[in-house]
Structure 1
Amino acid sequence: MEIYQFRKDVGKKNTKLDSDFILSRVAQTQSLSQIVCMYLKENGKIGYHQAVVPQLFLVVNGEGVVRGNSEEEIKVNSGDAVFWNKREWHETKTKTGLTAIVIECEALDISSLIAL
């Protein structure tokens, strides 16, 4: 399991083409992808299971804990991104609720993310 950040403060300002915004890169894909939004309510849980393909879990609201193959739980908040490799066991839990965008893709490139 790897933890990354995509918060505004780790992005880069873009003023090209008369623009004014912050861009925080997330991932690139070269093959079929699935992108979903997951809403975990108070005391919600995504049970311990193996990732079918590489998976990027982007916390967009709330907070919780994640774990990979080990028993150690790591706290995550809005702006954190968790990466699990194919076949890696993992779990997510929250006491207060959490919303996440999940990107699943066999050829997921996360090299542009900023490591925590």
Structure 2
Amino acid sequence: MFRFDRAEKVVDRFDSVGASATPVAAGEGAVHLTCLSVEPGGTIGAHPAPVAQLFLVIAGEGWVAGADGLRVSVSAGDGVRWEPGEVHTSGSATGLTALAVEGPSLVLSAPGPREPGAVA
């Protein structure tokens, strides 16, 4: 047993504020799993995804935005998929925790429609 929400590393790149990360796992082919914590009022600044990336909100709520800056609300259970090079940012007024899965060999499943209240 171990905790993955340890907020071990402050995220300060890309003008990020109130964000931290805990590396959780890595695999062959440079696949990484990271737990991200965004404090109330915090943001992870705009940056390009270095490789295919999933942002899986596991607690709280906030927003994500692409290069156009248009914010889309997200909450626990929502996932966002970014392609390599896609500029994106995220933040929260109340705080959120997300798992980031990324890697060049990551094959992402096609996202289904977002249906509030739907059971997987």
Q: Same fold (TM over 0.5)?
A: yes
Per the alignment, in what secondary structure is the counterpart of residue 90 of structure 2?
Answer: strand
Q: 1:42 aligns with which of 40, 45, 49?
A: 40
Q: 1:97 aligns with which of 73, 95, 98?
A: 95
Decide which structure has the larger Cα Rg and report it.
Answer: 1
CA deviation after TM superposition for structure 1 residue 78, in Å? 0.3
Q: Which has the higher contact order (CA 8 A, sep 6+)?
A: 1
Runs of 4+ in 1 over 4 A off after TM superposition: none
Per the alignment, in what secondary structure is the counterpart of residue 35 of structure 2?
Answer: strand
Per the alignment, in what secondary structure is the counterpart of residue 41 of structure 2?
Answer: coil
Per the alignment, in what secondary structure is the counterpart of residue 41 of structure 1?
Answer: strand
Question: d(CA) in 1 for partners of 2:79 and 2:34?
Answer: 14
**Over the residues paired in the alignment, what is the CA RMSD in angstroms?**
1.8
Question: d(CA) in 2 for partners of 1:39 and 1:91?
Answer: 14
Q: Does 1:65 align with 2:63?
A: yes
* Structure 2 equivalent of residue 106 of structure 1: 104
**Structure 2 runs not aligned, ≥5 long:** 1-26, 115-120
Q: Percent identity?
A: 36
Question: d(CA) in 1 for partners of 2:76 and 2:83?
Answer: 21
Q: TM-score, normalised by structure 1?
A: 0.70
Q: TM-score, normalised by structure 2?
A: 0.67
How many residues in Structure 1 have an aligned counterpart in Structure 2? 88
